Chain A
Amino acid sequence: MLKLVPEWIDTTERFWASLKRRNLFFIKLRFIAIAMLFAFNYLFEFLIDIQLTLFQHNLIGIITLFLFVYNISLLFVRKHIKTERGRFNPLHLSLLQICVDLLLLTFLIFITGGIESPLYMFYIFHLIIGSLILPGIVIYSIAFTVLISMTLITSLQYFAIFPHYCLNGIYKTELYNNPEYIITTLISFGLMTLVSVFLTNRIAHQLYLNEKKLHAALKEINNSELKKQKYIMGVIHEIKSPIAATKSIISLILDGFIGDFSPKINQKLNRAVIRLSESLEMINNILRISRLRLLDEKTSDDVDVNKILDDIIDLNSENVLAKQLSVTRSTSNNFRIIKGDEVLLKLAFSNLIGNAIKYSHKKGKVKIDSYFGENSITINICDNGIGIPENEIDKIFDNYYRAKNSNGNNEEGAGVGLSLVKEIIHQHRGSISVDSPSQIGTNKNPGTCFKIILPFELKKLSNEKNNFLMVKGGV
C-alpha cells in the first residue's frame, strides 16, 4: 500500500479526524460541482449563446449521473475506512477522489474543446486542494501527469489524430489549430500549475509545523495547570491536617473520653466544633474545585436526580424542623436516569438546597421541583428567604463572593459554594440561572430561585481519568 503519510507527521486521532472532515468536504464540494455540471448541460444554453451538440449533451449527462452515484457511494464508504498508516486510510480516499476527479475532468475537457475549453482552469483548483494534503512527490507527479495529458490532448487534436469537439458559440474563430495560442496557453498553464502546487505545498507544510508547535505549547500549559492543582492539593492537605486533628481532639473531649466538664465548657466546645467544621467544609470545597479543574470531564454514572434531591432534603430535615420551614417537592411523571458524576451533582444540589434552608427565615417556604423534558431535566430550587440584592445578582457565581445581606443571617461560609455549583453544572453541559425575588417570594421576603437544566447524556466522556490517578500522592 502506497505510504502517503510521511514519517514526520504525528498520526494522532486529531490528524485522522481532520482528514475525514476534509474527505467529507470534498464530497460536499462535488455535489456542488454536479449541480453546476447539470446547469451547464441543461440550463446554460438558455442564458448564454453556447450550443452543445447532442453527443456532448449525452456524454456530460452520463458523467453527471456517474458522478452523482459515485459521490453517494463515497458518502457510505468513507465511514468504514480504517485510520492506519499501512492500510487503505482516509488519505488514500482523498487521493482516489482527486485522481477520479482529474480523470473525469480531462475527459470533460476533451469533449468540450480541448485547449479551447474553459474547464481546464478547474485543474488548478484540484491541484491546490491536493497540495494541501498529499506529500510533495505524489502531488508533483499528479501535476506533471495533468500537464502531459493536457499537452497530449491539445497536440493530438491539433494533428487531427483525435477528433475536436468545439463548444459552439464560445469563440468566433477556431483556436485548437492555432500553434501560437496553443504554445502560450500551455506554457502559462504549466507555470501556473507548478507555481500553485509549489506554493500551496510549502504553505501547508509550514502550517502543519506551526500547528504542531502550538499543540506542544498547549500541552505544556495543561501540564503546568495539572502541576499547580497538585501543588494546591498538597498545600491544602497540610492546612487541613491540623484542623482535622484539632476537631478530633475536641470531639474526644465532647464524647467524654477525657472526663466530665461543665455545661458552659460543653457549649463553647460545641461552638468550636461548628467553626472547625465550617473551615473543613471550605477546605473541602476548594479541594473539590481543584479536582474539577484537574479533570477535564467527569465520570459517567447513572444518576437518579430525584433520589439525590430527596436524600438531600432528608439530610437537612433537622435544620428544616429547627426553622419550622415548609418544604414542598414535586416532579413530573416521565422519570429518567441521567448520565453524570453523582458525587459532584450531589455536592451541587446539597449546596443549593443548603443555601435555601440557611437563608430562609423561620417558618419560611422552600420549593423544590424537577421536571423531565425531551432531552434534559429542569430543577427549580426556590425559597422565600432573604433573597439577593438586585445589584449583586450578577456576581453571585464569582469565586469567594458573599452577598452583603448574608452576614446578618449569622451564617458562615467562604463564598466558594455557588462558583463550585456553577462549575459542576457547566461540566455537565448544563445551565444555571438565578431569580431574586423568587416566584414564591413576597415584598418583605423576596427569596431566591435557582433554575438548573441538565442534559440527559454527557456528550463526551473523559479519557483523561489517568491524570487524576497520578495525584494519588496528595491523599
Chain B
Amino acid sequence: MSIIVVIDDDHDILEATELILQASNFEVFTTDNPTNGYLLVKEKKPDLIILDVMMDEPDDGFFLAQKFRREGITTPILMYTSISKVVGMEYGAGEMVPVDDFVEKPISSSELIKKVKFLINK
C-alpha cells in the first residue's frame, strides 16, 4: 500500500484529503505544520507528499519543498494552491518551485485521485 504524507494547516482540507485517499486504498499520514511535516516525511518515507503552499508563512510550502530537494528527498510532491491559477500564475516543475504538480483548492476528489495515481506510478 502506497504511503502519502499530507501537510496543510487547514484541518478540514486534511480530513477531506485523508478520506478521499483512504477510499482509494492509500495509507495517509497528516500534519498541520511544516516542522512536523518534515519529521513525518523523514520517518515514514512516503511515496508522495501533498503540501499546501501557504501555511503559517506565505511561502512555507515552497521552502519546505526546496528543503526536501536540497536534502536529496526525491519523493514526488503535489502542491495545493489557492489563488495561483486565478491570477494567472501557473507554475511548472523547476528549480524555483521543485514540485511535480498542483491541485487547485477547492479539491475535486476525481482530480486529486487522478494526479496522485499518476505521480505514484511515475
Contact = CB atoms under 8 A, between A and B. Distances in A.
Interface string A267-295: 00000000010001000100110110000
B16 A284 contact: no
Interface string A248-266: 1101100101100000000
A246 interface: yes
Interface string B1-45: 000000000101101100110010000000000000000000000
Q: Is the interface of A mostly helix, strand, loop or mixed?
A: helix
Interface stretch (A102-110, A119-127, A233-241, A307-315): A233-241
A475 B105 CA distance: 11
A198 B11 CA distance: 73
B54 interface: yes
A240 B13 CA distance: 13
Contact of A251 (B15, B81, B89, B106): B106
A241 B82 contact: yes
Contacts of B23: 257
B12 A287 contact: no
B109 A475 contact: no
Interface string B45-81: 0000000011001110010000000000000000001
A134 B81 CA distance: 56
B20 A252 contact: yes
B13 A475 contact: no
Contacts of A291: 86-88
Interface string A217-254: 00000000000000001101100110111111101100
Contact of A474 (B13, B83, B105, B108): B83
Contacts of B12: 245-246, 248-249
Contact of B106 (A280, A288, A299, A472): A280
Interface in A299-353: 299, 341, 343-344
A249 B23 CA distance: 15
Interface string A450-461: 000000000000
B120 interface: no
A299 B83 CA distance: 18
A258 B54 CA distance: 28
Nearest to A257: B19
A473 interface: yes
B106 A255 contact: no
B109 A244 contact: no
A474 B20 contact: no
B59 A233 contact: no
B113 to A, nearest CB: 10
Contact of B16 (A234, A243, A249, A343): A249
A435 to B, nearest CB: 31
Contact of A248 (B58, B62, B105): B105
A341 B54 CA distance: 27
B107 interface: yes
Contacts of B20: 252, 255, 257
A243 B105 CA distance: 10
B87 A245 contact: no
A475 B106 contact: no
Contacts of A244: 13, 82, 105-107
Nearest to B53: A475
Contact of A258 (B19, B81, B84, B110): B19
Contacts of B13: 244-245, 248
A333 B41 CA distance: 58
Nearest to B108: A251
Interface string B78-122: 000111101111000000000000000111111000000000000
Contacts of A468: 89
A475 B54 contact: yes
Given A248-B105, A299-B88, A472-B59, 11 more contacts: A244-B106, A245-B13, A245-B105, A247-B106, A248-B13, A251-B106, A255-B20, A257-B19, A257-B109, A473-B54, A475-B89
Interface of B: 10, 12-13, 15-16, 19-20, 23, 53-54, 57-59, 62, 81-84, 86-89, 105-110
14 contacts: A233-B83, A237-B54, A241-B10, A244-B13, A245-B106, A247-B106, A249-B15, A249-B16, A252-B19, A252-B109, A257-B23, A472-B89, A473-B58, A475-B53
